[in-house]
Amino acid sequence: MYDTPPPRVVPPGGGRVQRNIVAVIMAIAVGVLGGALWALFGPGESSPDVRLEAISSPGAHPFMPPVGQDRNGVTPPLGATGTFPGNLDGLYAVHSARPSCDARDLIASLRADQSKSTAWATAVGIDVGDIPGFVASLNPVLLRSDVAVTEHGYDAGAATAYPAVLQAGTAVLVNNFGEPTVKCFNGNPLTRPTHYPQASYAGTSWQYFAPTKITYIKPAPSAIDNYTYLDIDQNSKLTRPSRCGEHPGLKYCHRPSL
């Protein structure tokens, strides 16, 4: 048998007060729930479209004609997902017989157009007159995986930044801390990427691309004297001095990118 509860005594006006309290509590609950749903499903700060740039693609706003040659058929190694330091052995590949980028062509192209050279120098944070010395400190390599970057195209006389993913096999110049600094197929400056957890991707995807398999490269803890690459032609490791390892007095050898 269930016990019968004692009768509830309600003071004069108490019913109305309790109803008001219940209404307030319900209003607060609805507001909290609505805020939670808005946070989950409502419009927030939208991430920009991340542009997919396949090999041998100049992109929408190239600084110049190609000053390097991308490589077909580079398959990312297993585990090439996440953030890695620029001095990791085998992070980059090289041709054993020839560089993937022509630094002299890059410098000559910039010298031929004052507006472009000014925009290019601004994007990498140097003076226009320092372009030759800055480029001389960079190392020509091939990406072994799909790499996130902030790319700077040339549009209406200025450098315009946008997030991009470069396909494995793209020829780039990296600085002495292992950071991608120039895309050689269009001469566009590259700086550090921003990670967008809910990014959308624009452009033509390549067959194996997946948003969960992107490499983010952070600067090495100190300047790199020697790189250990994958020799793309011989499929073996190859250790070479960096440009700054050979010429440590170059002005930009000990400064990471922006």
pLDDT tens digits, 168-217: 999 999 999 999 999 999 999 999 999 887 889 999 899 999 999 999 99
DSSP β-ladder status, 92-94 and 139-143: antiparallel
Write down the pLDDT at residue 258.
67
Q: pLDDT tens digit string along 94-136?
A: 988 889 999 999 999 999 999 999 999 999 999 999 999 999 9
User: Does residue 206 contact residue 167 with C-beta atoms inside 8 Å?
Assistant: yes
**Distance (Å, rounded) from C-alpha 94 to C-alpha 92?**
7
CA angle 210, 216, 222 (to 5 degrees): 160
For range 55-63, the mean pLDDT = 94
Q: How do residues 224-247 score in pLDDT, each as one tens digit?
A: 999 999 999 999 999 999 999 998
Cα–Cα distance, 19 to 42 (Å, whole number): 32
Is residue 17 included in any domain, yes or no?
no
Specify if 68 maps to a domain: yes
Kindly report, residue by residue over 30-53, the tens digit of the pLDDT: 333 333 332 333 333 456 799 999
Q: Is residue 8 part of a domain?
A: no
Range of the domain at 109: 50-246
Question: DSSP labels for 114-171?
Answer: HHHHHHHHHHHT--GGGHHHHHHT-EEEEESS-EEEEEEEEETTEEEEEEEEEPTT-E
> Contact, 176 vs 137, CB < 8 A?
yes
Structure tokens at 101: 């980028």
pLDDT in tens, 146-160: 999 999 999 999 999
Any domain includes 6: no
| pTM of the predicted structure, to 2 decimals | 0.81
- Top pLDDT among 144 and 16 is at 144
In the predicted model, is pLDDT for residue 142 greater than 60? yes
Q: Does 37 fall in a domain?
A: no
**234 falls within a domain:** yes
Domain count, the chain: 1
The rounded distance, in Å, linking the Cα atoms of 149 and 172 is 11
